[in-house]
A and B are shown apart, each in its own frame.
Chain A
């Protein structure tokens, strides 16, 4: 252990002073924030000695210094390629909501958008915000709760179907070194359906730290497709946490595409709160250089006849590193659970490293549960075969890598969202450096 490690306490003192300035803001979260401060003082910040943080080391992050963002004037065309065609968009720049860059017409009667600040300023101790995130869990959710300033509150009414996707775009401006604690809340009403995309991007290099928590509440029979696309600068930090609660027969389709940040962690925890709730979690991380990407899941089956599936794939080049920690918890009340998990890794370089840790805790006896993990290199026989058919090396390699990732997009409707994801996956594949022949 390095002696230069910043003691987590000093980081907490720093946060405490930062917090003091925010004390009187967001009255609807004051109880929650007091609790978060207690949790942080008691447990500190996660270190590699923390079980769920064994493979992801935050010391460098905690040593880094951040500064508040300057108000940057940005035009919509600066991030146009990241806008999903035909979508509604809600845009934040360096953590602050930008009304002029957002575009939200035609949602009246179906959904309401507010900034988090507006939402929590309208509440107080007597009407506190019923947050569903477990801030006691080791991680950065307590820190987020303490320091959050803004985010998206998006509430979808009962019985509506929103056809156009809704995109939250979080832009980091060029050379930004801001520390952002964003908090989003999405509720999907009874029997409603929608597609939400969260996009994180940098305009040029950025050394920002983005710590975001998104809460998803799906009422009975709600259906949400939830996409996260994290493509921020490879010198930035990204810690994303999703907490979802699904009521009876609700359905969540989550997909995380990560190719940005020097260190990224994407956590998702899903509470299948009532019978026949169903979630499908998928993730694709594509990393190179010295990037580190961690996908950590926690699916909790509380009631019977719920289904969950997890499928995570990583493509690693150079000296990059990925982590998958997948947890399934089946409570004693959860007979007829159907829960599956799979993690696969494709190493394009001998210097890359993938860790995979499944964890199944099953307290019911009539269940179907499975898990698996695989790590492999490019199939040299397949490459040779393709090349003997006239296909050049880079194209052959891309066909095989593409084949590896393509099944993750199967089952997604053929629409602008899928086009969008394909576009970024293909662009990453095209940037794989010239193929190294294995002698």
Chain B
């Protein structure tokens, strides 16, 4: 599904990723952990195509395609989804209009028919309910006036609408209380299938108790320092990053 080869990325001339290698197979769930400033979020932004992140070396292949040549919206059309650590508020853009434009854009890209207003409403209501989201939230502008937990649920709602092949979840657990965490994790788990892959980016092991990964990688100093099974995350949590020779915080 995803193959990252020797990826070097600079932001404003400063090298953040220094040769990342990572392979995610179809149906697998991978977790990337690492100290603050190790480059975790940079990786998620490069995958989604954000401006200002310069790939100086290496490549990213997504289903055999050169991901870096695709526009941001094309990546979404190809089935890549990024759940934001800090979802953006967009005053004046109604949530429903946003969700419907998004869904129909992606469907259009995939050569599928647009969803009618009536069917869309039904679909959204159903998905929102399963995530414990109040319908009223969706009558507001995108993320405006949402609590931290509501924003994260909204990310998972978008994910379940767009049905991505590869979901990248950037610190989805941050700012969530335990109940919200469960709901969000259930939402993510509901999408798990042998056809879909997930990349979890997280600082803490906590989320991995709910969304159990097949592989765990530790990112440090811009490289994958070590990889292992889900037990690696438990060990890290117990002993701390320091015990593995990683600084707790790395200046990026």
Contact = CB atoms under 8 A, between A and B. Distances in A.
Interface of A: 379-382, 384-393, 395-396, 399-400, 402-404, 406-407, 437-439
Contacts of B215: none
B208 to A, nearest CB: 24
Contacts of B50: 384
Interface stretch (B57-65, B80-88, B175-183, B221-229): B80-88
Contacts of B52: 439
Contact of B73 (A379, A392, A400): A392
Interface in B195-213: none
A402 B94 CA distance: 11
Contacts of A382: 88-90, 93
Contacts of B21: none
Contacts of B90: 379, 382, 385-386, 399-400, 403
B141 A393 contact: no
Given A385-B87, A403-B141, A439-B51, A391 B93 contact: no
A403 B105 contact: no
Contacts of A389: 73, 76, 98, 102, 105-106, 158, 162
B92 A384 contact: no
A384 B51 contact: yes
Nearest to B91: A403
A406 B106 CA distance: 25
A389 B51 CA distance: 16
A395 B93 contact: no
Chain A contact residues, majority secondary structure: helix
Given A395-B105, A400-B93, 9 more contacts: A382-B90, A388-B49, A388-B82, A389-B76, A389-B105, A390-B162, A392-B71, A395-B101, A403-B141
Nearest to B94: A403
Which residue, of B81, B87, B101, B103, has the highest number of chain A Cβ atoms within 10 A?
Answer: B101
B244 interface: no
6 contacts: A387-B49, A390-B73, A390-B76, A390-B162, A396-B73, A439-B52
A286 to B, nearest CB: 16
Contact of A403 (B73, B77, B87, B92): B92
Interface of B: 48-52, 71-73, 75-77, 81-82, 84, 87-93, 97-98, 101-103, 105-106, 109, 141-142, 158, 162
B162 to A, nearest CB: 7
A389 to B, nearest CB: 4
A376 to B, nearest CB: 12
A345 to B, nearest CB: 15
Contacts of A396: 73
B247 to A, nearest CB: 29
Contacts of A386: 90, 93, 98, 102
Nearest 10 A/B pairs, CB to CB: A403-B92, A390-B76, A390-B106, A389-B102, A387-B72, A385-B88, A390-B105, A403-B93, A382-B90, A392-B73
Contact of B92 (A380, A393, A395, A406): A406
Contact of B102 (A380, A391, A393): A391
B88 A390 contact: no
A392 B105 contact: yes
Contacts of B88: 379, 381-382, 384-385
Contacts of A395: 101, 105
B230 to A, nearest CB: 28
A404 B91 CA distance: 8
A70 to B, nearest CB: 46
Given A382-B90, A407-B92, A438 B73 contact: no
A388 B102 CA distance: 9
A230 B73 CA distance: 36
Contacts of B141: 403
A255 to B, nearest CB: 18
B98 to A, nearest CB: 7
Contacts of A407: 92
A51 B71 CA distance: 50
Contacts of A402: 92-93
A40 to B, nearest CB: 45
Contacts of B91: 403
Nearest to B86: A381
A366 B196 CA distance: 65
B73 A393 contact: yes
Which residue, of B84, B89, B92, B103, has the highest number of chain A Cβ atoms within 10 A?
Answer: B92
Nearest to B80: A388
A399 B93 contact: yes
Nearest to B101: A391
B13 to A, nearest CB: 13
Contacts of A439: 51-52
